Amino acid sequence: MANFREYTSAADYCAIMDGNSMNPVFLPGDELFIRAQGFTEADAGRVMAFNVEGELFIGYTYKREDGRLWASPANPQYEPMVVTPEQVLGLVVGYTRHLIQPEPNEAPAEIGLAA
């Protein structure tokens, strides 16, 4: 089992998963640890974070034959989307999941992305 300190020391950001686009991999309330970096060929197929129109999006990353970068959710109810290298925030390097979710009024405040 990985040490919690390994995740947090490798991360630059922590985000709370909101939504179900990455179900069943990540669930709402999961804390995602993100290392700030751009996309490299070695990251193909890995889970990355993106700024899509001011919203945080998490998805598997692929580079298609036409050279375009795609972010694909784990949940088949959602479609993959084209993203640009400028939208890449970083690589998801770890996560934590609470077995007991907080009550809605105890949820942490939403973290906005800088434009």
pLDDT at residue 1 in the model: 41
The pTM assigned to this predicted structure is 0.76
pLDDT at residue 101 in the model: 60
pLDDT at residue 3 in the model: 47
Report d(CA 62, CA 52) in Å as an integer.
16
pLDDT at residue 41 in the model: 83
The CB-side HSE value for 91 (13 A sphere, CA atoms) comes to: 15
Report d(CA 113, CA 58) in Å as an integer.
14
State the DSSP code for 74.
S
Question: Which residue, among 63, 57, 49, 40, has the nearest Cα to 92 in the 3D structure?
Answer: 49
| 115 residues of the chain, pLDDT tens digit each | 444 455 557 889 899 998 899 999 999 999 999 999 988 888 888 999 999 999 999 999 998 888 899 999 999 999 999 999 999 999 999 998 877 665 655 555 454 554 4
Name the CATH superfamily, with its identifier, for domain 4-97: Umud Fragment, subunit A (2.10.109.10)
